[in-house]
Structure 1
Amino acid sequence: MTLKANLIRWHRWAGLAAAAFWLVQALTGVLIVFHWEIRDAFIPGAHRQTDLAAIERTVGQLTPEGSGARLGSIWTGAGAPDRYDVSITGDTPEASRSVRIDGAGQILVDGDYTGPAAWTTPLVLIHHNLLAGDTGSWIVGISGVLLVTNILSGLYIAWPKRGQWGRALRVQRKGQAAVRHYSWHRALGLIVGVPALASITAGVLLTFAGGVERIVQPAPIAAPADAPAGAASVGLAAAAGTALAAYPGSTLAAVYAPDGERPVWQIRVTQPDEARRAYGATRVFVSAVDGRILARFDALDAAPSRAFVDGLFPFHTGEMGGLAGRIAVAAIGAWLVTMIIVGVLLWAARRKVRAR
């Protein structure tokens, strides 16, 4: 058999075998593109600008001395502006909690969110790892590789010869069902296949992020080994304020509390021109002993290897292109759903013809 004939068989049977799984991934992907905004839309509360001192006071109330509770991290909610998720770590799992606060430190949600948009959380986890942890991530990654090869084979099969693009992109609205389904499947595949291939490949690389980093070997991001030791006296507000002042116009993305013998605050900020919309990749390490900046990593001045690794997420989610990019990613998900359905209909129609 010729290469093209073998690819046609592979494209057909691999697609049929994984169709249901890909359909779940595509649908969940479409539904979670704007999951941050959807969730915040159902959490009441007026907008309050970020007040670092007020947030520090709230954290102090959540981690009273002698309780064993301590700050783990703070992350922007990424939906409505100036809202944050505070992770509190306790001596026991029962003592740990997550709290959503506004910019003034007022608690909006204490514990797991159970509002009307709670459905977004399991959808995100299904899309990432099928609610099955590392095992699920491997399954998602392997199915992603299969999808990438299926799209590549489809593009090879459908790619028209020079001068035949008009015919290849023309859809048939009349005639046999198999002919109509094929024309739609081919035309849609040629129009959206390449950008879809790029977005899905980025998603696969994200799934195998550890392996990608071992191959690309970006410069590590960590606090310096010679960070001053001693009692921590610099609080959250001062450390985060120092990091934000180092990059004027930036917004707070995340805070990692000091830990270990050499206490250091790790602050992530989002600069206006970063590819990531909310979870900025610029890091600042501030000493909790004397408040000095010990190290900083500017995402806008990153080496190519680091820029590649940090750029996978905003490319896959469309954040790199702003609102238009996120809409485009949702459209790619809808395209994949359509291609799966039309592909199954095409197979069924051809099978029906052969059975006559």
Structure 2
Amino acid sequence: MKTLRACCIRLHRWFGLASAAFLVLVGLTGSVLAYYEELDAWVNPRFLAQVRPGEPRLDLATLAERAQDLAPEVQVMEATWRYGGRQAEIRTRPWPDSDPSFAPGFDSILLDPWTGAQLGRRTWGDIRQGWVNLIPFLYRLHYELALGHPGMVLLGLVALGWTADCFVGLILTLPAIGWQSRCQRRKSTRGWWIRWLTAWRIKHPASGTRRLFDLHRAFSLWCWMALLVFAWSSVLLNLPSVYEPVMLTLTGYTPPAVSIIQASGKRGDAERGLSWRQALEQGRHLMSYQARSLGFTVQREIMLRFIPRDEAWLYRTHGSRDVLHRRGATDLYFDAHTGRLRALQLPTGEGAGQAVTSWLYALHVADVWGWPLRVVVLILGVVLAMLSMTGVLIWRRKRMAENRSAGE
């Protein structure tokens, strides 16, 4: 037992020191991102259209075509409703056959959903463009350290270590169990629980070092389950190559349809086959048929995206099986040339693995249960930063005390 505890102490200490800066960063940015839409709207009010009650909005295909007319030098890839329908975000990329040095200066065109008028352009998350990208830049910091794929993988490895450290830290809060006879152990069970109860408390009065230790240990216990959920959901988002096989083994989870559908033959990266209008109509037709067949309802459209790699269209809606509140994850994939159904992915009702994954994602992005969860996520991000900082301070004070003792 002593050997196990000593090993756990070393693992907890070195992981905490190695990951502290990362966890402080993701904790504080995560607190802010719980209110992503509200903050981005506050920073960029000109990117939101005035609501026109009683006036119908343009559909996603029409808005995508408008954006293509406004920016013929780039290829429109995706049209998405944002901010409760007050903005249509059109994502773009340079044409595949364009000059490699060509830099359009934007990858997102924001349109008025009622008129199709342009509200603005930006390269999402590029802080060099100024305040218009402040909140998206914080998102990039939180998700990938604003470094692209390498940053995403690095944070995924941190999340994997964080998940393991949740269990290591829990073990360290447990009172030691001595070598006792079975009778003695039965008598001391009640005492063991009483001793563990002290780990949940913050002593007062106490020395500064003791107060730091109590804060670190007690808050980690109070928030243990929430911290584990956010740690493992971070692995889901940043390191799916680890998350998917683990969840396949535990729950039978299969990865998202976009990672398993295969095109029957390549016909050119830039070629779509179906137009935006045809794709929207086909997506609506296929989704309506699937809804009738499987017994769910479609409540609103979310997004239409062209996926060149798979030569497919993605039509996303918010349906009755969704966990997410503001977004949607009822996804339908169909062939970009023939319109044939490739795959349907429902958030719930299709197995425990998919349901668990949907809930993990919804909890992580604070898009379920309304404002109470967003407040919890805000507080939890601050707690995570506090736990990381107190852990470093505890180590530093112990190290200083050891150095003083060695010098005497």
Q: Secondary structure of the equivalent of 1:347?
A: helix
Distance 1:36 1:176, change over 3 A: same
The amino acid across from 1:118 in the alignment is N
Counterpart in the other structure of 2:123: 112
Counterpart in the other structure of 2:363: 315
> Over residues 166-206 of structure 1, what are the superposed CA-to-partner deviations in whole Å (9 max), with x where a residue is unaligned?
43222123232222222222211211122211221111232
> Over residues 294-315 of structure 1, what are the superposed CA-to-partner deviations in whole Å (9 max), with x where a residue is unaligned?
8644434323333344444223
Contact preservation (8 Å) 2:235, 2:243: no
Contact preservation (8 Å) 1:284, 1:296: yes
User: Is 1:336–2:384 an aligned residue pair?
Assistant: yes
Match of residue 138, structure 2, among 123, 135, 144: 123
Contact preservation (8 Å) 1:138, 1:207: yes
Q: How does 1:196-207 map to 2 (within 5 A)?
A: 196-207=227-238
Contact preservation (8 Å) 1:47, 1:102: no
Match of residue 43, structure 1, among 42, 45, 56: 45
- Greater shift, 113-122 or 144-153, is seen at 113-122
Q: How does 1:13-52 map to 2 (within 5 A)?
A: 13-41=14-42, 42-44=44-46, 45-48=49-52, 51=56
Counterpart in the other structure of 1:86: 90
Distance 1:343 1:210, change over 3 A: closer
Counterpart in the other structure of 1:179: 210
Match of residue 254, structure 2, among 218, 231, 241: 218
Contact preservation (8 Å) 2:314, 2:332: yes
User: Structure 1: where are the runs of 5+ without partners?
Assistant: none
What TM-score do the two structures reach when normalised by structure 2? 0.72
- Give, in whole Å, the separation in 2 of the partners of 1:23 and 1:225: 42
How many pairs align? Answer: 353
Distance 1:83 1:236, change over 3 A: farther
Deviation at 1:273, TM superposition (A): 5.1
User: Is 1:103–2:113 an aligned residue pair?
Assistant: yes
Q: How does 1:134-283 map to 2 (within 5 A)?
A: 134-160=149-175, 161-214=192-245, 216=248, 218=254, 221=257, 232=274, 234-235=277-278, 238-239=281-282, 242=285, 248=297, 250-257=299-306, 265-272=313-320, 274-283=322-331
- Give, in whole Å, the separation in 1 of the partners of 2:314 and 2:72: 24
User: Structure 2: where are the runs of 5+ without partners?
Assistant: 176-191, 265-271
Contact preservation (8 Å) 1:249, 1:271: yes
- Give, in whole Å, the separation in 2 of the partners of 1:281 and 1:317: 13
- Give, in whole Å, the separation in 2 of the partners of 1:10 and 1:266: 43
Q: Secondary structure of the equivalent of 2:223?
A: helix
The amino acid across from 2:122 in the alignment is G
Q: Secondary structure of the equivalent of 1:139?
A: helix
Identity %: 21
Deviation at 1:53, TM superposition (A): 3.9
Distance 1:294 1:152, change over 3 A: closer
Q: Secondary structure of the equivalent of 1:155?
A: helix
The amino acid across from 1:101 in the alignment is L
Q: Secondary structure of the equivalent of 1:119?
A: helix
> Over residues 28-80 of structure 1, what are the superposed CA-to-partner deviations in whole Å (9 max), with x where a residue is unaligned?
22222221221123323313579464554443233249946543111232x34
Contact preservation (8 Å) 2:89, 2:110: yes
Q: Secondary structure of the equivalent of 2:45?
A: coil
> Over residues 8-47 of structure 1, what are the superposed CA-to-partner deviations in whole Å (9 max), with x where a residue is unaligned?
2332233223322221222222222221221123323313
- Greater shift, 121-130 or 36-45, is seen at 36-45
The amino acid across from 1:62 in the alignment is A
- Give, in whole Å, the separation in 2 of the partners of 1:131 and 1:169: 37
Counterpart in the other structure of 2:180: none
